[in-house]
Amino acid sequence: MRPSTRDTLIQSAITTLAAQPGASLEDIAQRAGVGRATLHRHFGSRDGLIHALTREAIAATDRAMVDISRDTSATEILRAVIEAIVPLGDQYHFLTLEAATKTDPEITAEIDRQLREMSELVAAVKQEGTIATDVPDAWVVAALDALIYAAWTSAHEGWIARRDAPGLVFRTIIGGLSASDAG
- The contact set with DNA (CB under 7 A) reads 2, 4-5, 24-27, 33-38, 40-42, 44-47
Residue 8 CA to residue 87 CA, distance in Å, equals: 18
CA 142 centroid distance within chain: 12
CB of 104 to a copy of itself, least distance (A): 17
Which residues, at least 6 apart from 148, have a Cβ–Cβ distance to it below 8 Å? 82, 85, 86, 89, 92, 93, 169
Residue 5 Cβ vs a copy of itself, minimum distance, rounded to whole Å: 27
Angstrom distance (rounded) from CA 118 to CA 152: 19
For residue 12, the minimal CB distance to DNA (Å) is: 12
Residue 107's φ and ψ, nearest 5 degrees, are: -70, -50
Residues 20-59 touching a copy of itself, rule: CB under 8 A, are 20-22
- The answer to whether 124 and 60 are in contact (CB under 8 A) is no
Is 135 near a copy of itself (CB under 8 A)? yes
Question: Which residue in the set 154, 156, 163, 166 belongs to the binding site for a copy of itself (CB under 8 A)?
Answer: 154
138, interface contact from a copy of itself, DNA, none, CB < 5-8 Å by kind = a copy of itself
Contacts with a copy of itself, 88-117, as mask; x by CB under 8 A: -----------x------------------
Q: Residues with Cβ < 8 Å from 124, sequence gap 6 or more?
A: 74, 77
| Residue ranges that bind a copy of itself, judged by CB under 8 A | 20-22, 99, 135-136, 138-139, 142-143, 145-147, 149-151, 153-154, 159-160, 164, 168, 171-178, 181
